Structure 1
Amino acid sequence: MRTHRWTDEFLDGLRQRGDLLADKTVKNLFQQGQVETANGLLKQLIRNDQLVPDTLPPGLREYLRRTEQLPSWADPDLVREGEALFGRYGPQAVVSLFCGALPASYAAAMGVQVIHLTARLATDPFRRIVETAQMLVDVLAPDGLAPGGSGIRTAQKVRLMHAAVRHLLLESGQWNPEWGHPINQEDLAGTLVDFSYAVIVGLEKLGCTLSAREQNAYLHCWRVVGHVMGLEPAAIPEDMEDFAALAEVIQRRHFRASPEGQDLTRALIQMAEHVTPGDLFDGIAASLMRHILGEEIADMLKVPPADWTRHLIGPMALLSKASDELGDRSPAVAKLAEVFGRKLVEGMVWMSRGAGRPPFRIPSALRESWNVQGR
């Protein structure tokens, strides 16, 4: 592997910086209104399908205008290939995210403090998971990263929400400066690794076969999203090798056992079991976490020991690889990871019905590709 650029000195610097543009936008909002107004904005960002620029203050309209542009290096062909890969492996990608990438992020003992202090996952795990899954779908749906696409709008919303959380935490007196700046550039880069590189690693452990070109296309989509979400250019990894190097350094620097990470992991497992119907998949989320994360990280997070479902994991990976090699994606070659992922997605669709719950939206093209039932 080439000598990586992710030195401790460089990452220590990233750890002290937030997002100047979004932070300035939110600061102005607080200065011009009341805290209740800001809280209302957060709810609008989380719950509404769209931000309506004509109804927003001038500062927010300017923020949207400045952050909707894709970087000059964005490649439309690679973006379309990344979308196509998600169309093919979407349910497995959801499993990889929820049973690999997300719990791995909870092992970062300093970065996890933001989630713990905001209490969103511990107190309302369903809403948090739906929002995370919605971002994945919005970004990688067909034309999600096209001008005005759902992925761009979602990234803009999340970026502004991050700035509001930074502001509120710094004003709260609860933030420990030893953790770095809240939602800092290093933690944002780590989140980018979670949504991109870590999902690819998880897909491979689930038996999905990705070519180097497909891996690069998937990473490219998320590199574009990282730009829209305010990552500094130098903090965005360049390719698979660069992502792997950053992932390795972040694990060395930050992965530690913490009560906060363990609490969030437990809430994630409980939510997955609650959403999937019946008793068929009980225990499989924990078994998949141990399979994807490995025993060391799973133990850090106090993931329950793998039960009888661990005996399904090996055949699941073999079936997935075999079906790809045979070119057969019919229901007769049912792959357990795909089935679990589809049931997880369907559960989020059905559970999002009802007053006060965020709807989980899946474009019709992806519904058909994944054979997902529901509204």
Structure 2
Amino acid sequence: MHDTRWTDEFLEGFRHKGDPLADETVKNLFRQGQVENANALMKQLIRNDQLVPDTLPTPLREYLVRTERLPSWADPELIRRGEALFGRYGPQAVVSLFCGALPASYAAAKGVQVIHLTSRLATNPFRRIMETAQMLVDVLAPGGLEPGGTGIRSAQKVRLMHAAVRHLILQSGEWNPEWGHPINQEDLAGTLADFSYAVVVGMEKLGCTLSTGEQDAYFHCWRVVGHVMGLDPAVLPTDMEDCAALAQAIQRRHFRASPEGQELTRALIQMAEHVTPGDLFDGLAASLMRHILGEEIAEMLKVPPADWTRHLLGPLALLGKASDELGDRSRAVAKLAELFGRKLVEGMVWMNRGAERPPFRIPHTLRESWNVEGR
């Protein structure tokens, strides 16, 4: 059985292990004097979404070459099927990320500490959330996981940024060793489970119909990304069932109420309300969080109470669809999640990420498939 291998003893060993290849790359940058401080390094990494090897310092160019190859077990057909699923249900996947996977990651009381420190030391919560959503699109857009694709480049960049964050936090003097190593292998495996298993669970709760084959294809895409991002093969789940067992083990080991997790959850809800137009959707992110996460985890995170009557009578009534849907809340939630997802994506497209950062990018084919307007 898959769940027998995710023991406390096994996972605890990986709480104290980082990513030697990426960590050494960052150390070389500082050792050679090519980056004066951690903030300068972070700016260098995020200035362009497309990293161009011949414009980067030698350690970065070497890192890109060493980490760009897909694993031998990568299946192009499964990747294509995973992309097709995202093409069909992309807005719902974004809602599942915002209202399920991300807040679930904030419930891990030890792992959330690095996210909280990073939001204070290197970036702001809105920007970090946008970059997380951008990675979701980059990986699953058509061709994203082909050689040189946006998904490969995005994974390489995030992996290197993780190493920079580890360096920054360990130098800050604010890290408690009881939390484990910053962005350790167990937490990386948990993040992979969030992007794959947790997003699929959330999509199903939002009314998406996914076959077992489609779920496996979606997971395969993220397993490939996990390889590119430096997960130790021993903590890289083998299939969706194995990933579910990993997610359950991490929840058992780490889900606790924490001020940091609650603060980041508030920021996530605020961003969702900020980027969606007007006040029609205010409070909806919190309601959907409770719907996806369940009451126990939602209470850990102090998610505001749900107000389904308001939300089902508001946006759906505006569309003229409420009359025959209110008697079946599951159907109404499905329609509402699709609408909210499209408005959330549109809002991120129009939102300014900052002078030194490219705008939120969605390929034209996905915009057409999702009926999303934008730049």
- TM-score normalised by the chain length of structure 1: 0.92
Offset, 1:60: 1.3
Quick one: structure 1 residues 201 and 122, their matched pair in 2 at CA, closer, same or farther if it must change by over 3 Å? farther
2:117 matched to which residue of 1?
Answer: 117
Gap runs ≥5 in structure 1: 322-334
Which one-letter code corresponds to 1:92 in the other structure? Q
Offset, 1:320: 7.5
Which one-letter code corresponds to 2:213 in the other structure? R
Please tell me whether residue 317 in structure 1 is matched to residue 330 in structure 2.
Answer: yes
Query: 1:119 aligns to what SS in structure 2?
Result: helix
2:184 matched to which residue of 1?
Answer: 184
Query: 2:36 aligns to what SS in structure 1?
Result: helix
- Counterpart CA distance in 2 for 1:83 and 1:63 is 27
1:364 matched to which residue of 2?
Answer: 364
Please tell me whether residue 153 in structure 1 is matched to residue 153 in structure 2.
Answer: yes
1:272 matched to which residue of 2?
Answer: 272
Which one-letter code corresponds to 1:216 in the other structure? D
- Counterpart CA distance in 1 for 2:330 and 2:232 is 37
Which one-letter code corresponds to 1:111 in the other structure? G
Offset, 1:124: 2.4
Superposition pairs for residues 11-22 of structure 1, below 5 Å?
A: 11-22=11-22
Query: 2:281 aligns to what SS in structure 1?
Result: coil
Which one-letter code corresponds to 2:174 in the other structure? Q
Check conservation: 1:122, 1:263, Cα contact below 8 A.
no
Quick one: structure 1 residues 261 and 3, their matched pair in 2 at CA, closer, same or farther if it must change by over 3 Å? closer
- Counterpart CA distance in 1 for 2:355 and 2:104 is 32
Query: 1:231 aligns to what SS in structure 2?
Result: coil
- Counterpart CA distance in 2 for 1:232 and 1:2 is 17
2:342 matched to which residue of 1?
Answer: 342
Please tell me whether residue 232 in structure 1 is matched to residue 245 in structure 2.
Answer: no
Quick one: structure 1 residues 316 and 366, their matched pair in 2 at CA, closer, same or farther if it must change by over 3 Å? farther
Please tell me whether residue 69 in structure 1 is matched to residue 69 in structure 2.
Answer: yes
- TM-score normalised by the chain length of structure 2: 0.92
Which one-letter code corresponds to 1:365 in the other structure? T
Which one-letter code corresponds to 2:330 in the other structure? A
Per-residue Cα deviation, 1:105-156 (whole angstroms, up to 9, x for no partner): 0000000000111125997232112101100000000000000000000000
Quick one: structure 1 residues 67 and 123, their matched pair in 2 at CA, closer, same or farther if it must change by over 3 Å? closer
Offset, 1:36: 3.2
- Counterpart CA distance in 2 for 1:179 and 1:310 is 41
Q: How many residues align?
A: 362
Per-residue Cα deviation, 1:242-285 (whole angstroms, up to 9, x for no partner): 01100111000000000000000001001100110011111110
- Counterpart CA distance in 2 for 1:3 and 1:159 is 27
- Counterpart CA distance in 2 for 1:261 and 1:122 is 18
Query: 1:40 aligns to what SS in structure 2?
Result: helix
- Counterpart CA distance in 2 for 1:107 and 1:210 is 26
- Counterpart CA distance in 2 for 1:82 and 1:314 is 33
- Counterpart CA distance in 2 for 1:88 and 1:255 is 32
Aligned-residue CA RMSD (Å): 1.9
Which one-letter code corresponds to 1:133 in the other structure? A
- Counterpart CA distance in 2 for 1:283 and 1:25 is 43
Per-residue Cα deviation, 1:165-224 (whole angstroms, up to 9, x for no partner): 101111111111100000000000000000000000000101111000000000000000
Check conservation: 1:138, 1:144, Cα contact below 8 A.
yes
Check conservation: 1:83, 1:218, Cα contact below 8 A.
yes
Identity of aligned residues (%): 83
